Amino acid sequence: MCVTGQTQGKIFTSLAPMRGLTTRHFMDMLYDCGEPDEYVSEFLRVHPTATIPSNIIDLIENRKSMVGLSIQLLGKEPEHFSRIAKMLQNYKIKSINLNCGCPMPKIGRKGVGGTLLTELNTIDDIISMISDNTNIPISVKTRIGYKSPREFAVILSHLARHKLSAVYVHARTVKGMYSEPVDFEYITIAKAALDCPVIANGDIKTAQEAANIIEKTNANGIMIGRAAISNPWIFRQINELANKTKIFAPTGEDYFNFIEKLQSFAHKLVLTDFQKTSSVKKYVIPIADFVDPSGDFPYRIRRATTLKDLTNMCKNFFVKK
């Protein structure tokens, strides 16, 4: 596995999965902006009747990129993980990524995602079931505890029992959702406890932050999610900083062209104009929040109801007359 941290002018980067956002189309757009070293798919829900859905097959077979793709699985029944893993052996993927970190209450109520951190023996059984029945590498996405970081040492002791290709650590608790302060000290703790690569995750917004975290924690790489929506050139910028070359600064026109590509995809969807507008706004609102902290542009974007209005708002903001 080519996870190396910051060596020879390189920081390993991974795109974190975000439901409804990290689609094949978005990954294809990152291919043109400067892509990460790895993509992790949106989660595939594992249950008694689960199969590999068409969007995952499309992602595996039709994306532009040649970099590694890990398929994230979310569930709690070890025997069904084994069945899905055997199906995935028919496809070219980098690893199976076990979701032990999703903090969303509607996910947690089903006993999956971050709730698995309260059932560590189940995590052991899932990993063992996959490894005993397939030859696909297994990675784990985790938080530092369910309620408290004091749980992290026990979590790590369970993960250390297995041969894992990587552990991705979002340095918050599950109950901390996305508002709790991120504490990257726990990345250093994970590095000391595990033999596999440890990838740091949690509110990393800039290339400089990524480099600082690598230097501070000796992490083997960086996983970025929401920052890649608001700044799709962030992976390129991380590489440029590591290589000590000029860091790309996107212009308003770059952003406008990116948004136009989003809209060109939306036009192909069999949806009403309002639904198409909503699908594009999921990407444009984070961009607006990022480029205009004053809040005026994001305010207007949130109120756009047609693609035409959205285009005009973006053109007026980004393209100089």
Domain end marker among 242, 263, 288: 242
54 confidence band (pLDDT: 50, 70, 90): very high
Report the number of distinct structural domains present in the chain.
2
One-letter amino acid for residue 214 of the chain? I
The answer to whether residues 34 and 173 belong to one domain is: yes
Beta strands in 145-279 (DSSP E): 166-170, 198-201, 221-224
pLDDT by residue (tens digit) across 18-35? 999 999 999 999 999 999
Task: Specify if 275 maps to a domain.
Answer: yes
The Cα–Cα gap between 90 and 264 comes to 33
Task: Specify if 8 maps to a domain.
Answer: no
The DSSP 8-state label assigned to residue 16 in this structure reads P
The DSSP 8-state label assigned to residue 75 in this structure reads -
The answer to whether residues 236 and 294 belong to one domain is: no
The answer to whether residues 82 and 150 belong to one domain is: yes
CB 183 within 8 A of CB 213: no
Q: Which of 281, 289, 282 is nearest to 309 (CA)?
A: 281
Per the prediction, the chain carries an average pLDDT of 94
Q: What is the pTM of this model?
A: 0.93
Task: Specify if 30 maps to a domain.
Answer: yes
What pLDDT sits at residue 4?
41
Q: Which of 222, 226, 224, 212 is nearest to 166 (CA)?
A: 222
pLDDT by residue (tens digit) across 61-110? 999 998 999 999 999 999 999 999 999 999 999 999 999 999 999 999 99
> Residue 68 corresponds to which tokens in the numbers above?
């590694």
Phi and psi at residue 18, in whole multiples of 5°?
-135, 120
The DSSP 8-state label assigned to residue 14 in this structure reads E
5 confidence band (pLDDT: 50, 70, 90): very low
pLDDT by residue (tens digit) across 57-66? 999 999 999 8
CB 172 within 8 A of CB 202: yes
Task: Specify if 219 maps to a domain.
Answer: yes
Quick one: the chain helix, strand, coil %, rounded to 5? 45, 15, 40
Domain end marker among 209, 242, 275: 242
Across the range 122-143, mean pLDDT stands at: 97
The answer to whether residues 273 and 136 belong to one domain is: no
Return the percentage of the chain with pLDDT > 90, whole number: 93
Task: Specify if 6 maps to a domain.
Answer: no
The answer to whether residues 138 and 274 belong to one domain is: no
Task: Specify if 111 maps to a domain.
Answer: yes
What pLDDT sits at residue 269?
81
What pLDDT sits at residue 146?
97
9 confidence band (pLDDT: 50, 70, 90): low
Domain end marker among 178, 207, 242: 242
Task: Specify if 194 maps to a domain.
Answer: yes
Among 6-10, 118-122, 287-291, the range scoring the smallest mean pLDDT is 6-10
CB 48 within 8 A of CB 79: no
Q: What kind and span of H or E run contains 73?
A: strand 68-74
CB 207 within 8 A of CB 238: yes
The answer to whether residues 46 and 166 belong to one domain is: yes
Residues 6 or more apart from 264 whose CB is under 8 A from it? none
CB 70 within 8 A of CB 98: no
CA distances from 226 to 15, 75, 146, 238, 243 (A): 9, 23, 22, 15, 24
Task: Specify if 283 maps to a domain.
Answer: yes
Phi and psi at residue 294, in whole multiples of 5°?
-65, -30
The Cα–Cα gap between 170 and 117 comes to 13
> Residue 194 corresponds to which tokens in the numbers above?
């595990």
The answer to whether residues 137 and 86 belong to one domain is: yes
pLDDT > 70? residue 3: no
The answer to whether residues 202 and 261 belong to one domain is: no
pLDDT > 80? residue 1: no
The answer to whether residues 232 and 103 belong to one domain is: yes
The answer to whether residues 93 and 167 belong to one domain is: yes
CATH code where residue 185 lies: 3.20.20.70
The answer to whether residues 160 and 296 belong to one domain is: no
What pLDDT sits at residue 266?
86
What pLDDT sits at residue 271?
87
Query: Tokens 């408290």 correspond to what residue?
Result: 148
215 confidence band (pLDDT: 50, 70, 90): very high
Q: Active-site residue numbers?
A: 102
The Cα–Cα gap between 106 and 23 comes to 21
pLDDT > 50? residue 145: yes
Question: Which domain covers residue 165, as residue numbers?
Answer: 13-242
The answer to whether residues 157 and 258 belong to one domain is: no
